[in-house]
Amino acid sequence: MSYASKKNTFENNPKKTIVIFIGISLLLFDFLFKGLINLYNAVFYSDSIQDVVTSHDVYHHTFKPYKEVNLHSDKGNYTIITNSLGFKDDKKINIEKDIDKKRIIFIGDSFTEGVLLNFEKTFAGIFKKYLAERDIDFLNAGRGGYSPIIYWTKIKHLLEIEKVKFDELYVFIDLSDTFDEYATYDLNENQNVILKNIPQSKPIQRENFIGKTKIFLKENTIFTYFILNYISDTLSNNDYAGIWYLHIVNDVHFDKWPINESTYNEWGEKGIKLQIKYMNKLKKLLDENNLKLTVVVYPWISQIWYEDLNSLHVKIWKDWAKNNHSNFIDLFPLFVKKGISNSEKDKIINENYIRGDFHFNEKGNQIIAEELIRKLVN
């Protein structure tokens, strides 16, 4: 038997051998590189969100006071700092409740909280800096998962129990507030916020092998996950392969009630009635204390994709503000455009929203802050 016939598979296919060797080397490098990133995050961003969140007897949940936690997510690293009231802030400071200068308070859900971003990069943080230069005090009472029932109970608690003085309240009403009012929150006999017991319409879906593999690669690699995920989308005949936000446009339903008749009929209309009920209570409370109210609305990604500029969400709260002698700010035109191409929509979304999420990124927050400041000045 000749030497040539004794050659193994690798020797007979040198080009294939080189490709395999390079592929394995790159995969190992990818694992090592992501491992080093994970190690860095474990050392410097090792805190848990549970270190700063807490329940509340009156308005269901809030942040713990005087906290500073360094957090890691697959969207990036960020820090949450809270003041003495348990509000997200730029420093762990004591809040003077009975203040002798003008004060503005923001309240809303996760968009107003500014999730996944440091306070100074959120529209609330930018707005605070602007006000501070003009000797106006500012507090951000926003927190993820809030809706009008909590806006009312929290502000009521701040005024009547905490005795926090302020002059004007900005309420940022989110599209998902409608679902929260319908399915999430209720009041007990003491007028404190509790959870409703409404079963979810969709069962929990367990991940199959491909799903589990994607999760493993996402947690342990960077380049490998991106490449294989793109190939997977392409092979599945997805016309929008690699476009990260399409699952939000297609699968997330909290923001669809203004553009989907069946969703509106299922829970949208009921949720809106509850929102208006608690916003009426909030307005009455503010009127009794001679305090101003500004209502603000803003779009999710779906509103950009479906060109929902003249949204039912906008109309409802514009009419409500007019009928209740309140200021109204519509932020939809900053992001939602009519008659533009999908590539133009893609540009707007990628420039202003956190990749892999539906909240505004730093640029989106900056645009909102500038518009709020412009409205304040005018």
Between helices 342-352 and 362-377, what is the axis angle to 10°? 90
**CA gyration radius for the chain?**
25
**Residue 40 pLDDT:** 61
pLDDT exceeds cutoff 90 at 210? no
The mean per-residue pLDDT over the stretch 107-123 comes to 98
Q: Domain 50-203+254-377 carries which CATH code?
A: 3.40.50.1110
Give the C-alpha distances (Å, rounded to integers) separating 220 from 33, 39, 48, 216.
Answer: 9, 11, 20, 6
Residues 276 and 255: their CA atoms lie apart, in Å, by 17
In the three-class reduction of DSSP (H, G, I as helix; E, B as strand; rest coil), residue 327 is classed as: strand
- Residue 29: pLDDT band with limits 50, 70, 90: confident
Domain ranges for the chain, please list them. Answer: 4-44, 50-203+254-377, 209-247
**Residue 94 pLDDT:** 98
The mean per-residue pLDDT over the stretch 350-376 comes to 97
| One-letter identity of residue 86 | G
**Residue 258 pLDDT:** 97
| One-letter identity of residue 227 | I
Name the least confident of 97-106, 226-235, 269-278, 279-288: 226-235
| One-letter identity of residue 231 | I
Between helices 269-288 and 312-323, what is the axis angle to 10°? 30
**Residue 205 pLDDT:** 42
Tell me: the pLDDT tens digits for 312-350?
999 999 999 999 999 999 999 999 999 999 999 999 999
pLDDT exceeds cutoff 80 at 20? no
Q: pTM for the complete prediction?
A: 0.83
